[in-house]
Amino acid sequence: MEYRQLGASGLKVPVLSFGTGTFGGGGEFFKAWGNTQVDEASRLVNLCLDSGLTLFDTANVYSQGLSEEILGKAVIGLRDKILLSTKATFKMGEGPNDYGSSRFNLIRSCEDSLRRLKTDYIDIYHMHGFDGNTPVEETLSALNDLIQSGKVRYIACSNFSGWHLMKSLSVSERYGWAKYIAHQAHYSLLSREFEWELMPLALDQNVGTIVWSPLSAGKLSGKYRRNSPIPQDGRIAQGGGEGPAVPDDFFYGIIDVLDQIAAETEKTVAQVALNWVLNRPTVSNVVIGARNEEQLIQNLGAIGWNLTTEQIKRLDKASEKAPIYPYWHQRNFLPLNPLPEFYG
């Protein structure tokens, strides 16, 4: 297992982490992700540890706490061998303060997560989304207090826009508070918008990227091809909770190239898609999920080898999207706004 430095911190993380959104299966939304219970979760955790994968990612909102509870039971006796990452901000109750990144909600949410995870501290605590109703100073002050109390080791954010993250970093610097060391963001061959602003920001500010859904909800798993299309009445065809559905021609054009490169490398389509993400600038870690041991073993096969530069360029060409304003305008002046260095 390769380890990489996480942003401007001293923390080293494995390049793959295990996402436990499939644990619990509570509610219709998360039931569609998976329904892993404690016994199978324990087997998956041990399989991860055998491969050197030591970072486990969850969130309080996953199955309304069930994911954290199951993960907490699955790692009993293993706390000194693993890193735990969880999140707060999204709705956990019907009360007016059961939502957001206020001091009130963050401290309570952190304590609830600690109890469910059966641990005294969280290694990486994410704000699951930006709360535009709470002053940034209040959120970051509360997070800094959680670090000072020993309940949290590092803080990170998720699903922020560029100005959300930059303002947060600026406020932390102004007051001498802990900074977000990582941004957990959606990024895949099907969704490369991260490159337009968030990647240059991460390079400039030394913020590590933790990638969620690198296979785009399974669309890049190798299951779907032109002769085996995505069912049009299903969740994935409608976007799968990951934004607008992509045009068929664009999607299958990427799959065609993935198939070609999978044959060249003797890897699976999913392994090629994951390896592409691992080769991108700022990426410290990629979150993989699995409903069962077979899927987990396949995803673990994405490391220990690398695509060639020529293969990466072919995938880049197939997956390139026309940027929106102001990025298309900036690309007319690349000497002023150079792109990230993708090919080293």
Catalytic center residues:
62
46: left (phi over 0), alpha (psi -120 to 50) or beta: alpha
CA gap 98, 109 in Å, rounded: 9
What residues form DSSP beta bridges with 154? 124
By three-state DSSP, how is residue 149 classified? coil
For residues 215 and 242, the answer to whether their CB atoms sit within 8 Å is no
CA gap 162, 160 in Å, rounded: 7
CA gap 273, 267 in Å, rounded: 10
CA gap 342, 237 in Å, rounded: 30
* Nearest in space to 272 (alpha carbons), one of 300, 302, 252, 251: 302
* Nearest in space to 14 (alpha carbons), one of 32, 1, 27: 1
* Nearest in space to 90 (alpha carbons), one of 130, 142, 56: 130
Spell 262-271 as b/e; 16+ CB within 10 A means b.
Answer: beebebbbbb
CA gap 252, 111 in Å, rounded: 45
CA gap 1, 23 in Å, rounded: 24
DSSP state of 29: H
Inter-CA distances, 325 with 166, 185, 279, 335, Å? 19, 21, 27, 18
